[in-house]
Amino acid sequence: MIEVAVLHEEGWPGTDWEMLAQRAVATAIAHSPYAAFATDQTLYEVAVKLTSDEEVHSLNRAYRDKDKPTNVLSFPMVQEDLLEVTANTDDGEVLLGDIVLAEGVCVAEAAEKGISVADHATHLIVHGTFHLLGYDHMDDNEAEAMEALEIAALLSMGLSDPYGDREAI
């Protein structure tokens, strides 16, 4: 089972953020090698925090040594090589990690792309979930693989390819 806890601060536009985050996380997982997490007896937990640019700036500086806000940060709690054996927990729960979105950055990027904040946030939560599952975009091959999964997940939700005209796999 997948459970998503949403911490929603003031300032974010009115949307059902709990439903949006649950759907984005579940869809990303369904498009990954870990699709079985959705039906496992184990409870897989993800926390999504919708917060201010200032908080994300502080986190980005502290954890990534980057002195600026960014749209999304992910904090995996399970090492990639241990994801396949997580169902063997003692208490039946696995905290996959945290995803943190910056309100001002997300709003500005959505406006620049000509899409709704909700659609952009959905993409960022999908992106963050893939990071929790061990995906990265440090080199071109990793980036292409991760982006293809994101595109497929978003298309299945009726959202367009956020990266351009590339075909999803």
User: Mean pLDDT of all residues in the chain?
Assistant: 90
31 marked as part of a ligand binding site: no
pLDDT beyond 60 at 55? yes
8 marked as part of a ligand binding site: no
Instruction: For residue 142, give every residue at least 6 positions away whose Cβ sits within 8 Å of its Cβ, in sequence order, or none.
Output: 135, 136
Q: What is the pTM of this model?
A: 0.92
Q: Which residue has the higher pLDDT, 164 or 49?
A: 49
Give whole-number Cα distances, 42 to 26, 52, 55, 70, 95, in Å.
Answer: 14, 32, 32, 32, 10
